[in-house]
Amino acid sequence: MTDKEKLSTEPYKGVRDFYPEDMKIQNYIFNTWRKICENKGYVEYSASPLEPTELYTEKSGSEIVNEQTFTFIDRGNRSVTLRPEMTPTLARMVAARRKSLKFPLRWYSIPNLFRYERPQRGRKREHYQLNCDLIGIDNNPQENDAEIIKIAYEILIKFGATKDDFEIRLNYPNNTKENLEDLIKRLNDEGITNTRIDKTLARGQTYYTGMVFEIFDRNSDNPRSICGGGRYDNLMEIFGADPMPMVGFGMGDITIRDFLETHNLPMSK
């Protein structure tokens, strides 16, 4: 066989192989995520990575979907997409059984996600991501927002970080009447004091309806967002369902691994 005929041993551009030493780190990250979420009363769910393309075009638009996702026509002439995020899938699943589910829901998932973009530090064409969501409580939105932020905070502390290693930035980009100072006070009362208001902060997804937040690494060697999320009460409307209080966050495995390496934190137990 000539060199030209030999297949490359390299994986597809922007994706990863996990050798045993890599799986040890990966399982450590996953197990830490699961432990914190389940200790807070959240239960795990999952779904197929293939979704109908319209699930994403409905809120994001066809241009973004065509340029930033792995989308193709299947043998049944249907347009399908490898999921770039988990929140629309979660909303679909809740809408499908909203009459039989017992609310509130505290759900989490660790899906494999795919985005067609230029690979760089902290960003690949596929990654795993913790998604943690609280659904169906409408009596005190800020209490629910604080609960979700606290889970993200406690995960980083569990990995060995201190609150001086990262900063929680918050905003209400849609100009709601809700008061960020009240939310910050609530977090301060929980011992979470590394927060600040950032009026420039806006998540990339268009479905956010209220508070948004991102957690940033304070180390100058890794000045980037570690995780983020917010409130998306109107997402159920794309399925013809009534709005429902929904708030959550996503935390990727690649950014967490970079964070652990930057701060010389343990990569396994």
Q: pTM for the complete prediction?
A: 0.93
Q: Give the chain's mean pLDDT.
A: 92
Using CA atoms, how far apart are residues 55 and 81, in angstroms rounded to an integer? 9
**Could you give the percent of the chain with pLDDT greater than 70?**
94
Residues in the chain: 269
Residue of 72, 113, 68, 71 lying closest to 89 (CA atoms): 113
Give the model's confidence band at 176: pLDDT under 50 very low, under 70 low, under 90 confident, else very high.
Answer: low
Give the model's confidence band at 66: pLDDT under 50 very low, under 70 low, under 90 confident, else very high.
Answer: confident
Q: Peptide bond preceding 104: is omega within 30 degrees of 0, i.e. cis?
A: yes
pLDDT of 30 above 70: yes
pLDDT of 97 above 80: yes
pLDDT score, position 137: 87
Q: What's the Cα-to-Cα distance from 145 to each of 20, 96, 184, 234, rounded to whole Å?
A: 38, 25, 10, 16
Over residues 180-200, mean pLDDT: 94
Over residues 84-107, mean pLDDT: 96
pLDDT score, position 205: 64
Residue of 83, 134, 92 lying closest to 111 (CA atoms): 83
Domain 20-50+83-262 is found in CATH 3.20.20.140: no
Domain ranges for the chain: 20-50+83-262
Q: What's the Cα-to-Cα distance from 90 to each of 16, 101, 179, 232, rounded to whole Å?
A: 26, 13, 28, 12
Q: What's the Cα-to-Cα distance from 230 to each of 6, 9, 49, 124, 191, rounded to whole Å?
A: 48, 40, 23, 23, 20
